[in-house]
Amino acid sequence: MMGVEMGGYGNREALRRYQQLGTQAEIGEASPHRLVSLLLEGAIARVIAGRGAMEAGETARKGELIGRAIGLVEGLKVSLDHERGGDIAANLGALYEFAGQRLLQASAANDPAMLTEVAALLREIAAGWAAIAPGAQGGQVGDAHVDP
Protein backbone atom coordinates (compact mmCIF):
# COMPACT_ATOMS: atom_id res chain seq x y z
CA MET A 1 0.00 0.00 0.00
CA MET A 2 1.28 3.41 -0.89
CA GLY A 3 1.63 5.93 1.95
CA VAL A 4 0.93 9.61 1.70
CA GLU A 5 3.49 11.92 3.21
CA MET A 6 2.60 15.41 4.23
CA GLY A 7 5.11 18.20 4.27
CA GLY A 8 5.39 20.74 7.07
CA TYR A 9 2.49 22.82 5.81
CA GLY A 10 0.23 19.78 5.44
CA ASN A 11 0.90 18.71 9.01
CA ARG A 12 0.19 22.19 10.33
CA GLU A 13 -3.01 22.43 8.30
CA ALA A 14 -4.18 19.04 9.55
CA LEU A 15 -3.44 20.03 13.14
CA ARG A 16 -5.28 23.34 12.70
CA ARG A 17 -8.36 21.58 11.33
CA TYR A 18 -8.28 19.00 14.12
CA GLN A 19 -8.03 21.76 16.74
CA GLN A 20 -10.86 23.63 15.04
CA LEU A 21 -13.10 20.56 15.23
CA GLY A 22 -12.18 20.00 18.86
CA THR A 23 -12.99 23.61 19.69
CA GLN A 24 -16.29 23.43 17.82
CA ALA A 25 -17.27 20.34 19.80
CA GLU A 26 -16.34 22.05 23.07
CA ILE A 27 -18.34 25.15 22.14
CA GLY A 28 -21.40 23.06 21.33
CA GLU A 29 -21.37 21.56 24.81
CA ALA A 30 -20.25 24.64 26.76
CA SER A 31 -22.24 26.57 29.34
CA PRO A 32 -22.58 30.34 28.85
CA HIS A 33 -19.87 30.82 31.48
CA ARG A 34 -17.53 28.43 29.67
CA LEU A 35 -18.18 30.20 26.35
CA VAL A 36 -16.91 33.46 27.81
CA SER A 37 -13.85 31.59 29.14
CA LEU A 38 -13.22 30.18 25.65
CA LEU A 39 -13.47 33.65 24.09
CA LEU A 40 -10.99 35.00 26.62
CA GLU A 41 -8.61 32.07 26.11
CA GLY A 42 -8.82 32.48 22.33
CA ALA A 43 -8.18 36.21 22.49
CA ILE A 44 -5.17 35.75 24.78
CA ALA A 45 -3.72 33.03 22.55
CA ARG A 46 -4.07 35.19 19.44
CA VAL A 47 -2.53 38.23 21.11
CA ILE A 48 0.47 36.14 22.17
CA ALA A 49 0.78 34.56 18.73
CA GLY A 50 0.42 38.02 17.16
CA ARG A 51 3.33 39.22 19.25
CA GLY A 52 5.42 36.29 18.03
CA ALA A 53 4.54 37.07 14.42
CA MET A 54 5.32 40.75 15.01
CA GLU A 55 8.72 39.91 16.47
CA ALA A 56 9.42 37.53 13.58
CA GLY A 57 8.57 40.23 11.04
CA GLU A 58 5.60 38.25 9.68
CA THR A 59 3.43 41.26 8.92
CA ALA A 60 0.51 39.46 7.26
CA ARG A 61 0.31 36.82 9.99
CA LYS A 62 0.55 39.53 12.67
CA GLY A 63 -2.37 41.37 11.10
CA GLU A 64 -4.45 38.21 10.83
CA LEU A 65 -3.87 37.21 14.45
CA ILE A 66 -4.43 40.66 15.88
CA GLY A 67 -7.56 40.98 13.75
CA ARG A 68 -8.88 37.72 15.18
CA ALA A 69 -8.06 38.87 18.71
CA ILE A 70 -9.97 42.10 18.09
CA GLY A 71 -12.92 40.08 16.83
CA LEU A 72 -12.94 37.93 19.96
CA VAL A 73 -12.67 40.96 22.24
CA GLU A 74 -15.55 42.56 20.34
CA GLY A 75 -17.54 39.33 20.82
CA LEU A 76 -16.94 39.56 24.55
CA LYS A 77 -18.01 43.19 24.56
CA VAL A 78 -21.29 42.64 22.71
CA SER A 79 -22.16 39.64 24.87
CA LEU A 80 -22.40 41.78 28.01
CA ASP A 81 -25.88 42.18 29.48
CA HIS A 82 -25.83 45.80 30.64
CA GLU A 83 -29.33 45.63 32.12
CA ARG A 84 -28.55 42.78 34.48
CA GLY A 85 -24.82 43.40 34.78
CA GLY A 86 -24.95 47.01 35.91
CA ASP A 87 -21.60 48.56 36.80
CA ILE A 88 -19.69 45.32 36.33
CA ALA A 89 -20.88 44.99 32.74
CA ALA A 90 -20.13 48.68 32.11
CA ASN A 91 -16.61 48.31 33.52
CA LEU A 92 -15.97 45.16 31.49
CA GLY A 93 -17.28 46.92 28.39
CA ALA A 94 -14.82 49.76 28.97
CA LEU A 95 -11.95 47.29 29.46
CA TYR A 96 -12.86 45.43 26.27
CA GLU A 97 -13.08 48.73 24.38
CA PHE A 98 -9.63 49.71 25.71
CA ALA A 99 -8.20 46.29 24.76
CA GLY A 100 -9.56 46.54 21.23
CA GLN A 101 -8.17 50.05 20.75
CA ARG A 102 -4.82 49.03 22.20
CA LEU A 103 -4.63 46.07 19.82
CA LEU A 104 -5.18 48.41 16.87
CA GLN A 105 -2.50 50.76 18.18
CA ALA A 106 -0.07 47.89 18.74
CA SER A 107 -0.55 46.65 15.21
CA ALA A 108 -0.15 50.10 13.67
CA ALA A 109 2.91 50.95 15.77
CA ASN A 110 4.35 47.44 15.54
CA ASP A 111 4.80 47.56 19.32
CA PRO A 112 5.04 44.16 21.06
CA ALA A 113 4.93 45.81 24.51
CA MET A 114 1.35 46.93 23.83
CA LEU A 115 0.41 43.35 22.98
CA THR A 116 1.95 42.19 26.25
CA GLU A 117 -0.14 44.81 28.04
CA VAL A 118 -3.36 43.59 26.41
CA ALA A 119 -2.54 39.94 27.11
CA ALA A 120 -1.98 40.79 30.79
CA LEU A 121 -5.29 42.66 30.95
CA LEU A 122 -7.18 39.78 29.34
CA ARG A 123 -5.50 37.29 31.69
CA GLU A 124 -6.63 39.37 34.66
CA ILE A 125 -10.20 39.43 33.36
CA ALA A 126 -10.04 35.67 32.70
CA ALA A 127 -8.83 35.01 36.25
CA GLY A 128 -11.68 37.07 37.67
CA TRP A 129 -14.16 35.31 35.42
CA ALA A 130 -12.83 31.90 36.51
CA ALA A 131 -13.24 32.93 40.14
CA ILE A 132 -16.98 33.45 39.64
CA ALA A 133 -17.53 30.17 37.84
CA PRO A 134 -20.72 28.39 38.83
CA GLY A 135 -19.73 26.13 41.70
CA ALA A 136 -16.55 28.06 42.49
CA GLN A 137 -16.05 28.66 46.20
CA GLY A 138 -17.96 31.80 47.10
CA GLY A 139 -18.40 32.69 43.44
CA GLN A 140 -21.72 33.69 41.97
CA VAL A 141 -22.35 34.92 38.49
CA GLY A 142 -24.99 37.41 39.67
CA ASP A 143 -24.20 40.90 38.42
CA ALA A 144 -21.61 39.67 35.93
CA HIS A 145 -24.30 38.01 33.83
CA VAL A 146 -23.41 37.57 30.20
CA ASP A 147 -25.70 36.27 27.52
CA PRO A 148 -24.14 33.55 25.35
Dihedral sign computed on CA atoms, order 51, 125, 127, 136: negative
On whether the CB atoms of residues 146 and 77 are closer than 8 A, the answer is: no
* Residue 81: φ, ψ to 5°: -100, 95
Quick check: pTM over 0.85? no
Predicted pLDDT at 7: 41
Each residue's pLDDT expressed in tens, for the chain with a length of 148 residues: 333 333 444 445 444 454 554 455 555 666 878 888 989 999 999 999 999 999 999 999 999 999 999 999 999 999 899 999 999 999 999 999 999 999 999 999 999 999 999 999 999 999 999 998 887 654 443 334 444 3
CA separation for the pair 65, 46 (Å, rounded): 5
Dihedral sign computed on CA atoms, order 103, 105, 110, 111: negative
* Residue 30: φ, ψ to 5°: -80, 145
